[in-house]
């Protein structure tokens, strides 16, 4: 009896305990459905974008029970592949932003992350994509400019006039600083394309520095002492040029040259007694492509007051010693011509040299022309002196361009471009272009293919057929001035191309 009672009591307690579990839950706890955001990624894998173009992503979002006002968006991308440092690039629903990150050379890309925030319920929905950034900087113009007269940035132009097999127009401003996160100290005064041990790149020089930059992605490569077998200290680069299988640097009034296509550093300076100026006439031709000049280099030594020549800088190509010109009684005495200042130097269409010199006392400007020497007597032969005193604007001229395929010398003041045609015994001087009002000329050069004149590949059709000019007014501008009527120096004004949006331009170069 007692056992039956206990059994009944336990059953009753169990029943009482089960009653609440059977009761219908009429409370409000957990009964409201939370709205959701679904990011549909069907068909979206790795994203690809060319550097300096816009990455466009339109996510397929499904929202339930939420209005657009309830949502916020954040797009961010990491600064380098495989790192967790991210930069927010947009807060719009759809992404349409320029990407300036370095191109990817491997298979691992950047990481793009979209965060959609449900502000009503304080929930985040996150999606990410791998992004491959591809190179978008090819053959074209390199534009060095400054905003503070102390530092330089480099921009890039591609157009049919300067880019082989290209039909569009692409102007990318501040490329160097965007990629490297810094500006170049000093003002770049020259840039030259050089294949450095098989890697495409270019050198940029300031008054106190020399820098190498990779042309593929415009990344900084090396600077100053790290570029040399025997570093300069201090270093004062003056100019750069080249001949077949050798790249020439004039630094601290001395020649330095190395075949950088086969060397990992620039060689020691050439040991000689002469003072080498920035303005050196260099004939880069070679018989593999055109002809081999008797003399490759000619320059005027301002300290010693005479001209100096060098047959070749290639040790297997002939005499590599520098010689002072002998004193002669010809058109002028190249061996004794004191008190002159170098303004310009170059080689001419007939394999000779042309030098523009200014007398330091009288201010008189003259052009000195040499004919090519012979194998037996290699010294360039003084041929003609052209008095430029009556040339219009010559007293204000700041830029000179010596053409190597026609007998034309361009010279420019801050507001005008003139041409000297010297194919006859009496040279002709004529104005060729007036700089637009409110602007002043800052650079002037002839456009030449980066590998001209020694390349197995054909040169772009515009090689030696257009001037590249820059000006500055309220902004820096680049002009491409087509040349028509070869030998007459005429400018095809209706077909001039203009590119804007730069700082004050200090130098323009070309690259492949």
- Give the domains, in start order, of the chain with CATH numbers: 39-134 (2.60.40.10), 298-389 (no CATH)
What is residue 216's predicted lDDT score, i.e. its pLDDT?
82
Residue-averaged pLDDT of the chain: 91
What is residue 288's predicted lDDT score, i.e. its pLDDT?
82
Q: Which residues of the chain have pLDDT under 70?
A: 1-35, 41-44, 105, 317
pTM confidence score: 0.83
What is residue 38's predicted lDDT score, i.e. its pLDDT?
86
Joined tokens for residue 237: 């680069």
Helix (H) or strand (E) holding 20: helix 2-22
Q: Which of 193, 216, 191 is nearest to 452 (CA)?
A: 193
- With contact defined as beta carbons under 8 Å apart, do 368 and 354 qualify? yes
Q: Which residues contact 32 (CB under 8 A, 6 or more apart)?
A: none
Helix (H) or strand (E) holding 497: strand 497-502
Q: Which residues contact 275 (CB under 8 A, 6 or more apart)?
A: 253, 301, 302, 303, 304
Q: Which of 182, 186, 246, 179 is nearest to 210 (CA)?
A: 186
What is residue 65's predicted lDDT score, i.e. its pLDDT?
82
What is residue 7's predicted lDDT score, i.e. its pLDDT?
55
- With contact defined as beta carbons under 8 Å apart, do 465 and 489 qualify? no
What is residue 443's predicted lDDT score, i.e. its pLDDT?
99
């Amino acid at each position: 009896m007692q056992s039956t009672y206990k059994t009944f009591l336990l059953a009753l307690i169990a029943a009482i305990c089960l009653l609440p579990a059977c009761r219908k839950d009429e409370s409000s706890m957990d009964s409201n459905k939370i709205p959701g955001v679904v990011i549909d990624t069907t068909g979206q894998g790795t994203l690809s974008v060319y550097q300096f173009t816009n990455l466009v992503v339109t996510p397929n979002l499904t929202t339930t029970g939420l209005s657009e006002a309830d949502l916020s968006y954040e797009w961010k991308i990491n600064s380098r592949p495989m790192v967790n440092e991210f930069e927010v690039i947009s807060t719009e629903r759809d992404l349409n932003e320029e990407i300036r990150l370095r191109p990817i050379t491997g298979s691992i890309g950047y990481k793009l992350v979209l965060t959609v925030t449900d502000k009503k319920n304080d929930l985040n929905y996150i999606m990410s994509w791998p992004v491959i950034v591809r190179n978008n900087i090819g053959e074209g113009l390199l534009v060095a400019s400054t905003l503070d007269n102390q530092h330089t940035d480099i921009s890039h132009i591609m157009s049919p006039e300067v880019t082989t097999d290209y039909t569009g127009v692409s102007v990318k401003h501040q490329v160097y600083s965007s990629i490297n996160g810094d500006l170049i100290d000093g003002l770049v005064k020259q840039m030259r394309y050089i294949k450095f041990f098989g890697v495409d790149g270019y050198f940029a020089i300031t008054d106190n520095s020399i820098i190498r930059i990779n042309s593929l992605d415009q990344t900084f490569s090396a600077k100053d002492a790290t570029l040399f077998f025997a570093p300069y200290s201090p270093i004062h680069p003056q100019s750069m040029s080249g001949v077949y299988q050798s790249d020439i640097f004039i630094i601290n009034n001395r020649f330095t040259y190395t075949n950088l296509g086969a060397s990992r550093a620039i060689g020691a300076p050439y040991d000689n007694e002469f003072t080498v100026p920035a303005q050196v006439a260099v004939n880069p031709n070679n018989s593999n492509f055109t002809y081999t000049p008797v003399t490759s280099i000619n320059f005027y030594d301002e300290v010693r007051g005479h001209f100096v020549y060098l047959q070749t800088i290639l040790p297997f190509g002939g005499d590599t010693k520098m010689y002072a010109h002998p004193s002669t009684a010809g058109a002028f005495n190249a061996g004794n011509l004191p008190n002159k200042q170098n303004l310009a130097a170059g080689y001419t269409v007939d394999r000779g040299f042309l030098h523009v010199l200014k007398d330091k006392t009288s201010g008189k400007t003259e052009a000195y022309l040499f004919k090519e020497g012979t194998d037996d007597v290699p010294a360039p032969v003084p041929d003609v002196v052209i008095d430029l005193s009556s040339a219009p604007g010559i007293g204000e001229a700041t830029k000179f361009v010596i053409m190597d395929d026609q007998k034309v010398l361009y010279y420019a003041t801050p507001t005008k471009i003139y041409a000297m045609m010297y194919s006859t015994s009496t040279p002709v001087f004529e104005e060729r272009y007036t700089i637009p009002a409110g602007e002043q000329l800052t650079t002037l050069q002839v456009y030449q293919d980066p590998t001209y004149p020694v390349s197995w590949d054909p040169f772009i059709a515009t090689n030696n057929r257009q001037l590249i000019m820059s000006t500055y007014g309220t902004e820096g501008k680049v002009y491409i001035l087509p040349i028509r009527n070869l030998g007459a120096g005429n400018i095809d004004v209706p077909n001039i191309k203009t590119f804007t949006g730069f700082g004050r331009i200090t130098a323009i170069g070309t690259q492949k």
